Structure formats: structure tokens, C-alpha cells
Amino acid sequence: MNYAEQYPGNFLEALMLPQDRPVEVEIERIEAAGKVKCADGRVIDKPVLFFKGKDRGLVLNKTNARAIARKNGPSMDGWIGKTVQLYQARVDAFGERDVPAVRVWGAPVKKGRR
């Protein structure tokens, strides 16, 4: 049984990624905004990245947007077709410690290096 199959939705979650390695993906498109419910109950709009061959999008937080912009420039339109790596990280968030989160490396790791 797979977590992602048991809990359908539109967005990628950290627990859907492997714990031991990054996943390389190609940015296919960026939708202007996705309605996201915050921990405090507010609903806000955030950009959503969609990847070639993947069903779920990644709600783009500021941390991940910065990581992509550092390698690919500030224009989000210029990110389409670029390859990034997604990985599962543990962060302090929402007043809790060790919360699983999706993080982005703005460029792929060179072959043969980790």
C-alpha cells in the first residue's frame, strides 16, 4: 500500500518522496496560484509548480522559490524546462519540530557526485 495512493490530492507532500535520495524532475509549467489552507486556517494563494510526467504539483513556498531562483534566475517563466531535485527534509514549522517538508535543489547534482 502506498501513501500517495491512499490519500489522493493535487499537491505533492514530503512523505511522498524517498527519505534517502533526491528525485530529479523537469519543471513543465507554473500555475499562477493555488488555494492553500494554512495551519492557522487562513486560505492564501501561492504559485504551484508542475513537473513533466508527474500528477501532483508542488505548492511553491518562498524557501523553495529562492533555491530555484539562485540557479535559474528570478523570472519564473524562465524556470520552465529546467531540471531541479526534490528531497524530503525535516524542519521546524507551525510551532512543531521535525516536520517533514519538501525542499528543492535549484539544479541537478552532476552525474557521479552526490
Task: Flag whether 114 is in a domain.
Answer: no
C-beta separation of 9 from 58 below 8 A = no
Per-residue confidence (pLDDT) for residue 4, from 0 to 100:
59
Write out the DSSP string of 6-70.
HS--SB--GGGS-SSS-EEEEEEEEEEEEEEE-TTS-EEEEEEEEETT-SSBEE--HHHHHHHHH
Q: Does residue 76 lie within any of the structural domains?
A: yes
113 located within any domain: no
In a domain, 27, yes or no: yes
Query: Is the model more confident about 17 or about 99?
Result: 17
Report whether pLDDT(114) > 50.
no
Is there a domain that residue 89 lies in? yes
Structural domain total, the chain: 1
Q: Within a domain: residue 110?
A: no
Indicate whether 112 belongs to any domain.
Answer: no
Average pLDDT (6-27) is 86
pLDDT at 96: 76
Residue 3 has pLDDT above 80, yes or no: no
Q: Which domain holds residue 79?
A: 3-105
Note the pLDDT of residue 91.
78
Q: Which residues contact 78 (CB under 8 A, 6 or more apart)?
A: 72
Give me the mean pLDDT over the 17-23 stretch. 89
pTM across the whole model = 0.77
Q: pLDDT digits over 39-95, tens only? A: 678 888 889 999 999 989 999 988 899 999 999 999 999 999 999 999 988 877 777
Q: Above 80 in pLDDT, residue 33?
A: no
Specify if 35 maps to a domain. yes
